[in-house]
């Protein structure tokens, strides 16, 4: 099977007909990136110049804990990435068993702060930690397959993967540090408008971190896909440059659509679990909601990012094509049972929890009034930066499954997926 590294077929020309929309989305992304960065810098300067007028704001008590949490997030991201490549068994077990403990510890810290906001988020974090632990027990039988897939797909990363990870993490840490400077400046004034500006900066951080993660995912999955499909060792730097030059529109749009669809699908599963079959009305509503979620996942899913790079498709077309391939190959159930997303989620929560614990504990000692805010922002930053670091391993898993679905008879694949498909088939029969 040969894959054209720069495909220009009539099909891809048709898929590129929405280029204006893609350019528009990418322009919006870059404009918000520049605009929010400028806003954060202005707010930071204002905070330093006016902190004497606002005696309740103390920059030396705000910035060191916050920036330390940001730096720790980068370190945790590199640790989880290194473990994913070198020791998948330890990485998965550490994420699923260590993550809930960190989440519960963060909840205890937030409750101990004593604020009403801290109490609410602390109780929520503790409940989430308990749910994480129960989920880890429930999916424990799937660990062996998840470890095998991660070892096969991410065990041998492309050359220069480490350099790309450091570049992405460096940008993420720098951008988050700028935004946290702006949040500190807005905290100095504490007006209603400043509260709105903080919300704008948080939304910008969420979208930007998703885009950075998915740019890495598209670039690495491009190289891994070509390797799995036809044995080509393409240059990762070239794939990364092409992604930035040609595919930013679909990546930016997918960075909004895919998390939204994932949230809808996760909530649909939760609703179905709660509804059960005891109440006919609830069961019917849950079934309708699940059907909607199943429909949406075919239009926007993380597997679609593989074809964005290789074939320069849009996120919707790419998602539909990859899901259709999974359906033809009989892999839908296997994809539903895949633990890669859960593994990355647990790693992100663990990274965010550690950042929150360090920043929040420091602030609790030096200035208790900042502890809740720094703990929550520390968690958000730690979560997203850790997810950026794990984009490479996740890209390898995505490329492995998509390449297998396209040509399952290829001698380049081992028995990892066929054996798992047979196990699922036996479980359905029993």
Per-residue pLDDT of the chain (430 residues; tens, 9 = 90+): 444 444 433 344 444 445 777 888 999 999 999 999 999 999 988 887 776 655 566 778 888 898 898 889 889 888 988 898 889 999 999 999 999 999 999 999 999 998 898 899 999 999 999 999 999 999 998 999 999 999 998 877 888 888 888 899 999 999 999 999 899 888 877 788 888 999 999 999 999 999 999 999 999 999 999 988 887 788 888 989 999 988 899 999 999 999 999 888 888 777 776 666 555 666 677 778 778 888 888 888 999 999 998 888 889 999 999 999 999 988 988 998 889 999 999 999 999 999 999 999 998 888 888 889 999 999 999 999 999 999 999 999 999 999 999 988 887 888 889 888 888 888 877 6
- How much is the pLDDT for 13? 40
- How much is the pLDDT for 12? 42
CB within 8 Å of 418: residues ≥ 6 apart: 408
Tokens of 263: 């949230």
- How much is the pLDDT for 51? 60
Q: In the block, which residue shows the tokens 């390797």?
A: 227
Alpha-helical runs (H) found in 190-247: 192-230, 236-246
Alpha-helical runs (H) found in 114-160: 116-138, 143-154
d(CA 368, CA 329): 56
- How much is the pLDDT for 3? 47
CA 212 to chain centre: 10
Q: Are 357 and 99 in contact (CB under 8 A)?
A: no
Tokens of 75: 């370190």
Q: In the block, which residue shows the tokens 């679905």?
A: 405
Q: Judge residue 58's burial from the number of C-beta atoms within 10 Å of its C-beta, 0-12 exposed, 13-18 middle, 19 or more buried.
A: middle
Q: How many CA atoms lie within 13 A of 294 on its CB side?
A: 14
Which helix or strand (DSSP H or E) is residue 105 part of? helix 88-113
Q: In the block, which residue shows the tokens 């008590």?
A: 61
pTM here is: 0.90
d(CA 268, CA 394): 24
- How much is the pLDDT for 11? 42
Tokens of 85: 């490549």
Q: Are 32 and 175 in contact (CB under 8 A)?
A: no
d(CA 251, CA 418): 31
**Angle formed by the axes of helices 59-86 and 340-366, to 10°?**
150
Question: Dihedral (C-alpha) 373, 377, 378, 383: value to the nearest 10 degrees?
Answer: 150
- How much is the pLDDT for 366? 87
């Amino acid at each position: 099977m040969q894959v054209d590294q720069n495909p220009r077929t009539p099909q891809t020309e048709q898929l590129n007909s929405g280029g204006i929309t893609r350019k528009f989305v990418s322009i919006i992304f870059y404009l918000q990136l520049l605009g929010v960065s400028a806003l954060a810098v202005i707010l930071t300067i204002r905070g330093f110049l006016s902190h004497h007028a606002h005696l309740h704001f103390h920059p030396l008590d705000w910035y060191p804990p916050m920036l330390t949490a940001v730096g720790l997030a980068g370190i945790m991201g590199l640790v989880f990435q290194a473990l994913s490549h070198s020791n998948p068994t330890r990485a998965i077990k550490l994420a699923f068993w260590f993550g809930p403990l960190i989440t519960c510890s963060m909840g205890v810290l937030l409750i101990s702060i004593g604020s009403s906001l801290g109490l609410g988020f602390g109780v929520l974090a503790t409940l989430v930690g308990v749910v994480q632990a129960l989920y880890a027990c429930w999916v424990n039988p799937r660990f062996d397959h998840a470890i095998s897939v991660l070892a096969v797909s991410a065990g041998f990363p492309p050359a220069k993967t480490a350099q790309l990870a450091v570049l992405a993490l460096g940008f993420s840490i720098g951008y988050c540090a700028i935004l946290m400077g702006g949040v500190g400046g807005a905290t100095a004034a504490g007006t209603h408008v400043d509260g709105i500006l903080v919300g704008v900066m948080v939304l910008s951080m969420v979208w930007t971190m998703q885009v950075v993660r998915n740019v890495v995912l598209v670039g690495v999955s491009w190289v891994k896909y070509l390797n799995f499909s036809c044995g080509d060792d393409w240059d990762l730097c070239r794939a990364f440059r092409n992604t930035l030059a040609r595919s930013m529109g679909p990546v930016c749009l997918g960075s909004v659509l895919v998390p939204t669809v994932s949230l809808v699908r996760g909530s649909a599963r939760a609703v179905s679990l709660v509804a059960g079959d005891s109440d006919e009305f609830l069961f019917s509503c849950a079934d309708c909601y699940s059907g909607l979620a199943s429909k949406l996942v075919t239009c926007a899913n993380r597997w679609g990012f593989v074809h964005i790079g290789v074939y320069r498709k849009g996120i919707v077309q790419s998602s539909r094509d990859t899901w259709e391939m999974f359906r033809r190959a009989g892999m839908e159930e296997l994809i539903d049972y895949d633990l890669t997303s859960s593994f990355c989620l647990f790693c992100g929560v663990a990274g965010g929890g550690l950042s929150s614990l360090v920043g929040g504990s420091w602030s609790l000692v030096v200035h208790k009034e900042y502890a809740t805010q720094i703990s929550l922002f520390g968690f958000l930053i730690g979560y997203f930066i850790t997810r950026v670091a794990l984009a490479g391993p996740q890209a390898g898993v995505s490329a492995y499954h998509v390449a297998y679905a396209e040509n399952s008879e290829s001698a380049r694949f081992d028995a990892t997926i066929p054996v798992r498909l047979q196990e699922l088939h036996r479980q359905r029969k029993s």
